[in-house]
Structure 1
């Protein structure tokens, strides 16, 4: 910026001294100089703004790449466990099958599901800026009140396990929705099995 101003001042000075026969209009030259300075300042501002936009785009791309890398790592970690992992906006969505996660009609975690929850806890520890929403679901069998309570208790059981692993409770939201959000047909055995689940959404 200083070089531009210096150059403009030199040009102005040379123009003023180029002909002793011409009347020197100092106010006009000062106005012209100021206009040139303002134009160059505006150009520099546009360039700076463009650079910041490019930098923001690069940072966003790097963040998305990191999320995808973590996604692939978790998909690999859960191979053969029955857990479904999908990418969602700003995070990951995991579905844990309730039949293998809990004892029948209870909110007691099976030992097998704990080995699945461990890498989830590790991910939350590795990324302190992440949060988790844990949602319990049931099929439509049985009284609605019982299903609602069971879904809440199962979501809380998962939340408690993660908190016992060192995840702060402020980063975890636990929700039970009973049978209100089925993903399959409750009129079939397989459908009811699919609907008995726990969803975990990890947001970055």
Structure 2
């Protein structure tokens, strides 16, 4: 029989071996995974951010090109909306007088503001170009009265555009009364077409709206 101290030493040695082999826990449990530290993010490289001193580290574009393109498209759309045409003198838009004025009146209606703000965008795009504003009426009533009415309406439009920031020195304002119709004055629909204010931007062509 082994002495007690040698038996205790033997039991301790066996315990160490079992522990080293993973046998100290529940036999159904797998080995415990050793946690690993999550990788730390490295600083964003200058090549990615484009903030470094290397001129080839980033690609930049001129935002002005996109902005100009969007403005051109917008102006082209407005010109198309207002029956814009290119003439030998420039680009001409036509605004239905019935959306600008009440019957037989030369005071702008509240809803006229949105229409004329569109015109302001076009005139700002063609900054500095001369502008001719011409009023027209149908043939109802006396020709002399219609002439004065067309002049007053053209001036009302010019005043609004000036108040909106367009340089008044660019404007030539006139009325042509019933003398320059675009349709025969033989129906209500045609008379409405003849009641209009035309804005000619002299010496320019409309941009491509596409």
Shared fold (TM-score, shorter chain, > 0.5): yes
Unpaired segments ≥5 residues, structure 2: 1-67, 205-210
Distance 1:180 1:124, change over 3 A: same
Shift of 1:122: 2.8
After superposition, where does 1:107-118 map in structure 2 within 5 Å? 107-118=106-117
Gaps of 5+ in 1: 1-65
More deviation, 109-118/177-186: 109-118
| Alignment partner, residue 88 of structure 1 | 87
Inter-partner Cα distance in structure 1 for 2:137 and 2:89 = 27
Question: In the TM superposition, what is the alpha-carbon distance from 1:101 to its structure 2 partner?
Answer: 1.4
Equivalent residue number for residue 168 of structure 2: 169
1:76 aligns with 77
In 2, Cα distance between equivalents of 1:183 and 1:129: 29
Structure with a larger share of its residues in helix: 1
SS of equivalent residue, structure 1 residue 180: coil
- Is the CA contact 2:75–2:121 (under 8 Å) kept in the aligned structure 1? no
In the alignment, structure 1 residue 185 sits paired with structure 2 residue 184: yes
* Alignment-derived partner of residue 153 in structure 1: 152
| Deviation readout 1:2-54 (Å, 9 max, x if unpaired) | xxxxxxxxxxxxxxxxxxxxxxxxxxxxxxxxxxxxxxxxxxxxxxxxxxxxx
- Does the 8 A contact of 2:78 with 2:122 survive in 1? no
| Alpha-carbon separation, structure 1, partners of 2:125 and 2:76 | 17
Structure with larger Rg: 2
Q: Is 1:120 the equivalent of 2:126? A: no
Question: For the Cα contact (< 8 Å) 1:74–1:85, is it kept in 2?
Answer: no
Matches of 1:77 and 1:125, distance apart in 2: 13
Paired with 2:85 and 2:110, the residues of 1 have a C-alpha distance of 24
SS at 2:84 equivalent: strand
Task: Report the TM-score when normalising by structure 1.
Answer: 0.59
Query: How far 1:75 moved relative to its partner?
Result: 4.3
